[in-house]
Structure 1
Amino acid sequence: MKKLFLIVGMLGMLSGSAQQNVKSANADARQLKKAERREKINQLIKQEEEGALIFQKQSAFGFKFNTDAWSMFYEHGKYKTINKTNLWWLELGERKDRKEEKVPTLSASQGFLVISSYIYGKRNNFYYLKGGLGQQLLIGGKGNKNGVAVSAIYGGGFSAGLLKPYYIEIQNPSTNAREQIKYDVTNESLFLDPSIIIGKGGLTKGFNEIQFVPGAHARAALRFDYGRYNEVLSAMEVGINAEYYSKTMPILLLNKERKFFFNAYIALVFGKRK
């Protein structure tokens, strides 16, 4: 009987010792993981103090001043390495023909003088919606928090061209009535006669007649991030953009219609990083 108690006691001691060893091993593993996390955080803090942009993702809005009009965009980035970020973006804008000129007009309506304007020979408003994928590559870090980070951005994607007929208001010489007309081969003489044009048509006129033209685009740019804090994205971007559509885009009469468009731009970008 004594031997039995002795054996049971020894087994209990061995079991307790084994459990203690397991607990000790688990504690050591947890401490090792904590130490590794601390080291990683310390490295990130050091890199950030040296001017590196450290984040998991970024979101930004921007406004572009293009050589052929304007656009605005939303951009989302996901951090891959210290030097590389994957991007996707959506952009909405308008493209104009470089030869467009506003013509001022003065007319009478219900006893009042009305000042207006129109673009002579304009056939369509050309809007576009673009979506793309690309990358942002860090060329030079800030050096310190007050420095400027320089990145190269490139990518491309789809482009949805949207053609809205451009309406003008005229005083029809045949009926002496005011009419809003768009260009058509049957009314070309009226559409191009400046002596009867009163001004441009209503703002919403033609939206129910928009034509969709599919295309593709590509862009390349340099971005200068001057934000004081790494969590804040404040940058200026200088770049070029190219677009190609499946058919010619008629914008201005008496001018060559094109499928390919190329422009340069300056953009102001604002956002945040996490």
Structure 2
Amino acid sequence: MATAAPSDEQSYRKEFVYGLNFNTQGGLIGGVSIRSARVLDDRYLRFWSLEGVSLKNQKEERVSNNTTGGSYIYHKTNYAFALRPSFGVQRILFRKAADAGVQVNALLSAGPSIGILLPYYISYDYTAAQSGRFSPSDDIRDQQYDPSIHVQEGAIVDSAPFFSGISKTQLVAGAHLRGALSFEYGRYRDAVAGLEAGFLVETYAKRLLILSPGTQGDAALINNKFFPSVYLTLYIGHRS
């Protein structure tokens, strides 16, 4: 079937945007995304996108060591991230004039999700753990936080550097579906800017182990494999 040519009003054929994501499952800034779209006709575009975001457990709690001045996240054993390649369709609901106004689009997409578990490391003072009090020590080790091993909270000096456990990274397969509305500004044939607001549902083959209950409790009660979220993406890009 032949692809219809764009109308005179919609005189571009390709669009590429990149954005900054905020969502209810992430931190202050959720992540980043890129999207490439191709015009099918005067109302529809087909696109692929790639998004990388952080995932937080709603029960995370940051605590401080008043002696050392360091801080760490209580019972956190892994950082969690999601990499989401998507394929979808965009429909123009309200078109703007060529040089002014706002264009409103509806988007629907789906694709696989790749969950990334990066071990969360802490600096643990084994001398303080044995003596029960903190003092300068040569036996401070960077290890993945395990509450069943690192039981003396006062011996946790600080969180370790972010990439300390990168060699032990785990991947978890999943899938996602999203729907959204976008509001675009800018001129055709030129730069485009806007915001996209929508919802996303995502599930994984197994629970993402972000927090560890230690020797007591069930990890399944404090970790999830289903991550519904509401999100907002601010984006800029260009058309050609």
* TM-score past 0.5 threshold: yes
* Correspondence for 2:101: 147
Say yes or no: does 1:136 pair with 2:136.
no
Superposition pairs of residues 85-234 of structure 1, within 5 angstroms: 85-107=45-67, 115-143=69-97, 145-172=99-126, 173-174=129-130, 177-184=139-146, 188-190=148-150, 192-234=151-193
In structure 1, runs of 5+ residues without a counterpart are: 1-39, 48-52, 109-114
Conserved in 2, the CA contact under 8 Å of 1:89 and 1:132? Answer: yes
Inter-partner Cα distance in structure 2 for 1:157 and 1:180? 37
Q: CA deviation at 1:183?
A: 3.8
What is the deviation of 1:229?
A: 4.7
2:14 to 35, 46, 57: 57
Alpha-carbon deviation of 1:228? 4.3
Deviations 1:34-86 (A, max 9, x none): xxxxxx99x61xx3xxxxx4311111111101112111111100000111000
CA contact (8 A) 1:106 1:198 kept: no
Query: 1:239 pairs with 153, 176, 198, which one?
Result: 198
Letter in 2 for 1:170: Y
Letter in 1 for 2:170: Q
CA distance in 1, matches of 2:11, 2:99: 12
Q: Distance in 2 between matches of 1:128 and 1:212?
A: 10
- What one-letter code is carried by the residue in structure 2 that aligns with 1:158? P
CA distances 1:196-254 after superposition (whole Å, capped 9, x unpaired): 21110122111000011111111111100022455222011111111111111111234
Within 2, Cα distance between the matches of 1:146 and 1:174? 69
**For residues 160 and 66 of structure 2, what CA distance do their matches in structure 1 show?**
15
Cα distance in 2 for residues equivalent to 1:144 and 1:74: 24
Cα deviations by residue, 1:124-182 (Å, 9 ceiling, x for unpaired): 10012111100111111114632100001111111111111111112222386212222
Tell me the matched-pair count: 218
1:266 aligns with 2:232: yes
Residue 4 of structure 1 corresponds to which residue in structure 2? none
Instruction: State, as a whole percentage, how many aligned pairs show the same letter.
Output: 30
Name the TM-score, length of structure 1 as normaliser.
0.74
Question: So what's the TM-score if we normalise by structure 2?
Answer: 0.83
Gaps of 5+ in 2: 132-136, 214-220
CA contact (8 A) 1:57 1:76 kept: yes
Larger Rg: 1
